[in-house]
Copies of this chain bind each other. A is one copy, B any other.
Amino acid sequence: MPTALRVHHLAVVVDDMDRALSFWRDALGLELAGIRDVPEQASQVAFLPAGEAEIELVRPTSGDSGVARYLAKRGPGMHHICMSVDDLSGTLERLAAQGVRLINPEPMASADGRRYAFVHPESTGGVLLELYQA
């Protein structure tokens, strides 16, 4: 098994950040490591480490983003799982060769340079899965 293959974060779409933080931070006791705007995703994201993984609370900041449409259609809740991998490009090639449906067949790069790609829920058993270059 690739050594880096582990749960990196869980993204939860919320409509009310203060209310979500009142549970995950204030009631449950997770630490809020930071909260910041992510303009390229039209979202505000709160980062709450939980062991080696992290809970990310994602609140859309405009009505026409993918996350906003998800929230409008399905309501608040789990958006995706992210797992880190050793070799993102190699993993994507291997998955494609096995017939896995990839939303991003090639790695994408976020504004801060991290590389990621999404796997379609059709191939995972209904879970939107992000793979992240460790």
Contacts and interface: CB of A to CB of B under 8 A. Distances in A.
A95 interface: yes
Interface residues on chain A, size class: 35 or more
A95 B20 CA distance: 14
B6 A127 contact: no
Interface string A86-118: 000001001100101000000000000000000
Interface of A: 1-2, 5-7, 10, 12-14, 16, 19-20, 22-24, 26-31, 50-53, 55, 57, 75-78, 81, 83, 91, 94-95, 98, 100, 121, 123-127
18 contacts: A1-B30, A6-B50, A6-B53, A7-B10, A7-B53, A10-B81, A16-B125, A20-B124, A20-B125, A23-B123, A24-B124, A24-B125, A27-B94, A27-B95, A28-B95, A77-B125, A78-B78, A78-B126
